[in-house]
């Protein structure tokens, strides 16, 4: 009976595209998953695991299997994906799996596990096709045919010298259209565009995107070819990094979808409470000017206008600065010039916004001094907010600190403080005119 069921299940399940199989897989419970391991070969499970979304990648699945079956699945996966899954495995489990895996593959996995997260080494695959430049196109095509099943990428053949150093790249397109007897050295593009194993994954992904590559070779410190990064990994990296920037601007992990309300709340609360405490400094500043507010309660009316507008302006500067850092190719001006541009932009914005609110307040409250105070405060507050919004991310990047998770709310909360400080100090000077008017 079990056998009949298995056959039926296999037929139906394997009819789905492997990406859809992966989508179904992550919805199964433990009992269903263990039945699936029993019904499917390790190669089919490996294909599913190759397709898992990065959020679903975990070594826990291997723990549910017999170690030998787990090892077979790991062996059948592309090394980069297997390494991603094994990253969370306990050392003891890892050793058990690797015991059952062919020594060469096991050694590669061990090596890849040592590369630092978020570098080229951590996302590269080791299944690629390479040969030396003295081969002919026909021999190269023969090699491609032989290795087509194992290689993660067959669209490029990498040319190396005797020391295994990368010297050029031949596309499968070129091999297909070239006369069989032409030498690979003639056909290849040289020097080859490549990245170093410790390069940042975001830079690598940007490069693949900018050059429209399907894959990019990775070399070690001695220029030896050790891996390739494929475009599907580059998309994941770009997506992940832009999600991080976006999360930073909002002060929340935007990939929290699968959390329940308690988990979501406890992920969002730390930043809200931190910012609330930081915001208390703004409150205590207002409290410090309590006497002035009692005398001229009209001052309280415009606190939120000034903090709100300066906060918005600061967030705009921040967003532009963060984008500039993410895509350095888009702007190759010097740091000084970039900052000068931001200051001038801030002054322009401050001037026009300040004039606007001066006229509005002057007309509404029939008090031109009050209008002038609000306008001047807004002018200064916006310039400060713009400078903070553009300088803070640039400085953090210069000293090598990654942007804080909540850079957006942090800038606007900081800008609340400086805006109120500027506002009350300007108001203090003109207080007698505001009241007497």
Site for a copy of itself in 63-122 (CB under 8 A): none
349 touching a copy of itself, by CB under 8 A = yes
Closer of 75 and 309 to a copy of itself (Cβ)? 309
Both structure tokens of 41:
């070969």
203 touching a copy of itself, by CB under 8 A = no
Q: Which stretch binds a copy of itself (CB under 8 A): 4-12, 89-97, 103-111, 274-282?
A: 274-282
In 3D space, the residue among 298, 284, 270 whose CA is nearest the CA of residue 417 turns out to be 284
Residues near a copy of itself (CB under 8 A), total: 111
Closer of 197 and 299 to a copy of itself (Cβ)? 299
Supply the minimum distance, in Å, between the C-beta of residue 152 and a copy of itself.
10
Closer of 108 and 345 to a copy of itself (Cβ)? 345
Supply the minimum distance, in Å, between the C-beta of residue 283 and a copy of itself.
5
223 touching a copy of itself, by CB under 8 A = no
Q: What does the alpha-carbon distance between residue 362 and residue 371 come to, in Å, rounded to a whole number?
A: 4
Supply the minimum distance, in Å, between the C-beta of residue 384 and a copy of itself.
15
Which one of 97, 409, 421, 424 is in contact with a copy of itself (CB under 8 A)?
409
Which one of 42, 167, 412, 418 is in contact with a copy of itself (CB under 8 A)?
412
Q: Which stretch binds a copy of itself (CB under 8 A): 15-23, 59-67, 68-76, 160-168?
A: 15-23
Q: Which stretch binds a copy of itself (CB under 8 A): 29-37, 94-102, 132-140, 347-355?
A: 347-355
Q: What does the alpha-carbon distance between residue 288 and residue 181 come to, in Å, rounded to a whole number?
A: 86
Which one of 60, 66, 176, 395 is in contact with a copy of itself (CB under 8 A)?
176
Q: Which stretch binds a copy of itself (CB under 8 A): 37-45, 61-69, 125-133, 170-178?
A: 170-178
236 touching a copy of itself, by CB under 8 A = yes
Closer of 343 and 396 to a copy of itself (Cβ)? 343
254 touching a copy of itself, by CB under 8 A = yes
Q: 389 with 411: CB under 8 angstroms?
A: yes
Which one of 69, 93, 305, 430 is in contact with a copy of itself (CB under 8 A)?
305
In 3D space, the residue among 96, 48, 89 whose CA is nearest the CA of residue 69 turns out to be 96
391 touching a copy of itself, by CB under 8 A = no
Q: Which stretch binds a copy of itself (CB under 8 A): 115-123, 219-227, 239-247, 429-437?
A: 239-247
249 touching a copy of itself, by CB under 8 A = yes
In 3D space, the residue among 53, 120, 41, 122 whose CA is nearest the CA of residue 87 turns out to be 122
172 touching a copy of itself, by CB under 8 A = yes
Strand partners, 195: 218
357 touching a copy of itself, by CB under 8 A = yes
Closer of 181 and 329 to a copy of itself (Cβ)? 329
Q: Which stretch binds a copy of itself (CB under 8 A): 89-97, 124-132, 263-271, 393-401?
A: 263-271
């Amino acid at each position: 009976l079990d056998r009949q069921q298995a056959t039926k299940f296999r037929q139906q399940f394997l009819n789905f595209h492997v990406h859809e199989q992966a989508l179904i897989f992550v919805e199964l419970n433990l009992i269903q998953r263990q039945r699936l391991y029993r019904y499917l070969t390790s190669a089919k499970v490996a294909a599913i695991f190759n397709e898992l979304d990065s959020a679903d990648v975990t070594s826990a699945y291997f723990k549910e299997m017999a170690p030998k079956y787990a090892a077979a699945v790991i062996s059948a996966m592309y090394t980069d994906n297997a390494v991603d899954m094994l990253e969370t495995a306990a050392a003891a489990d890892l050793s058990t799996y690797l015991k059952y895996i062919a020594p060469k593959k096991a050694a590669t996995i061990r090596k890849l596990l040592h590369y630092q997260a978020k570098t080229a080494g951590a996302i590269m695959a080791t299944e690629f096709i390479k040969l030396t430049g003295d081969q002919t196109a026909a021999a190269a095509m023969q090699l491609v045919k032989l290795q087509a099943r194992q290689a993660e990428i067959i669209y490029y053949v990498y040319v190396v010298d005797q020391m295994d150093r990368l010297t050029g790249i031949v596309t499968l397109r070129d091999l297909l259209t070239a006369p069989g007897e032409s030498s690979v050295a003639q056909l290849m593009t040289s020097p080859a565009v490549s990245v170093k194993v410790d390069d940042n994954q975001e830079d690598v992904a940007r490069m693949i995107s900018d050059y429209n590559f399907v894959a990019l070779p990775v070399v070690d410190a001695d220029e030896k070819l050790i891996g390739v990064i494929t475009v599907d990994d580059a998309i994941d990296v770009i997506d992940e990094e832009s999600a991080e920037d976006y999360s930073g601007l909002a002060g929340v992990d935007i990939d929290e979808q699968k959390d329940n309300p308690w988990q979501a709340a406890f992920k969002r609360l730390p930043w809200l409470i931190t910012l609330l405490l930081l915001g208390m400094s703004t409150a205590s500043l207002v409290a410090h000017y309590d006497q002035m507010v009692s005398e001229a309660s009209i001052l309280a009316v415009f606190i939120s206008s000034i903090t709100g507008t300066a906060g918005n302006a600061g967030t705009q500067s921040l967003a532009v600065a963060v984008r500039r850092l993410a895509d350095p190719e888009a702007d190759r001006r010097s740091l000084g010039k970039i900052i000068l541009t931001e200051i001038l932009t801030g002054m322009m914005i401050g001037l026009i916004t300040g004039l606007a609110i001066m006229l509005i307040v002057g007309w509404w409250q029939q008090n031109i001094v009050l209008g002038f105070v609000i306008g001047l405060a807004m002018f200064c507050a916006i310039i400060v907010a713009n400078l903070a919004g553009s300088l803070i991310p640039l400085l953090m990047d210069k000293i090598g600190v990654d942007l804080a998770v909540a850079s957006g709310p942090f800038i606007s909360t900081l800008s609340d403080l400086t805006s109120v400080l500027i506002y009350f100090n300007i108001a203090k000077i003109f207080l007698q005119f505001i009241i007497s008017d």
